[in-house]
Amino acid sequence: MTAHRLCWKLGIVAFALQVLIGVAFAEEILTLERCINLALANNQDLKIAQKRIIESKGKKQEAFGNFLPTLSASGSYTRLKESPKMSVSFGVYEETFELGPEDLYSTQLTLRQPLFAWWKIYHGDKQARLNYRLVNEEYKQVKNNLIFEVKRAFYNLLLARQFVIIAEEAVDVTDSHYKTARALYKEGRVSDYDVSRAKVQLVNNQTKLIKAKNNLKLAREELSFLLNTKLEEDWKVKGDFPREKREVSLEDTLGKALRERSEIRQLMIQEEVGKVSIKLARAENRPNLDFLANYEYTNPFYNREEWGESWNVILSLNFPLFSGLSNLGRVKQAKAGLEQVKILRSQVEQRIKLEVRKAIFDMEEARERIEAQKENVELARANLKIAEERYRLGLMSEIELRDAQLSLTQAETDYFQALYDYNVASAFLDRAIGKYQ
């Protein structure tokens, strides 16, 4: 009984180890969602954008710190070669007095609080907060573009894989034609010229297959670059082209794009930054009022070799009278920068409108091609079966058979190209309206 239980437990352990090993070495399944998640976690451009957010947050905190008082401490020690002395003459006599020790110690605390800076601190803080919002919008733009590029690369990989399948089918068909031609040649029903043409067509399709496989490798490399992840050979891409029809309204989509795109929001923020910059430049030649408090603890104290304390408070008014017209130059720069942002915003709005229109028009055109080619593929496949049977019976020439095979290959290629174009246009439309932000 004990031996039976031991064998049973060992069996369970062995099974558990097999499961763990199987999980550890299971192949990675790359779906579109999985690729997007990998890109968001690993892409270098997105990581840089995230670090810029952290940097901008630190600058915002630094600007807010100008509202708060500053407290500084200092200390010093001085060793004199000899103590200071003073000589006093009394007629013919002269008396020398030491005025202090040779060792001097001093400590000081200084408190400084800006009381009024003509809104310079306020505008500087507002500018930092606007820049923080701007960097966040830049991050959304990078994310929006990245997800689109991942989708496009994923669909490109699906298309390249489908082209490999089509090329393999073409090789199989022409290889079958070549074998049939050789059999018919032996029966004396076709010439050696027909066999030679079948051989040439087979080699041509084999060459196209090699090129298709190379394009598939390049598509994997492109996706790997965006994901910043090495795609192993045993990693399988799982997915297909979505075929559902997407209904969109041009007017509604244009309005949403102009509201949601991060590029528009960035320019709106930049306009606010420009206005603040003008106010900040104008405030540079305005007076500042500061409060300062100093506390000192020194030795010697009033020429006595002992520790003593003293303090003072200061109201400091600083009024710049002339800055060499440099402040006027800063105001002009800020105004010109604001005008540039306004012009750029108009350009970006027009570009976004064009992107939306192009995406919708491309989707409509690709959808029409999908509907046309879907039926065409079925018809070309049926024609090829008829042609193969007629060729086998000697009722059709090799040229006619090859034309039927080429028609099927072209129809399948055009069909999947239309599917690719439609889904890329749909992804481009999502990018145009800022869906991925």
226-255 residue pLDDT tens: 988 877 766 788 888 888 888 888 899 999
Cα end-to-end span (Å), the chain: 65
Lowest-pLDDT choice from 17-21, 110-114, 199-203, 345-349: 17-21
At residue 109, the pLDDT reads 94
Q: Considering the chain, what is the average pLDDT of its residues?
A: 85
- Average pLDDT (381-405) is 79
- Using alpha carbons, select from 248, 32, 268, 44 the residue that is nearest to residue 150: 32
Q: Give the confidence band of 17 by pLDDT, cuts at 50, 70, 90.
A: very low
- Average pLDDT (412-437) is 91
At residue 234, the pLDDT reads 65
Q: Look at residue 352 and tell me whether its pLDDT is greater than 80.
A: yes
386 or 139, greater pLDDT: 139
At residue 2, the pLDDT reads 52
C-beta separation of 152 from 424 below 8 A: yes
For 178-214, write each residue's pLDDT tens digit: 888 888 888 887 788 888 888 888 899 999 999 999 9
d(CA 40, CA 37): 5
Two tokens at 281? 């430049």
At residue 23, the pLDDT reads 39
Q: Phi and psi at residue 306, in whole multiples of 5°?
A: -160, 160
For 262-286, write each residue's pLDDT tens digit: 999 999 999 999 999 888 888 888 8
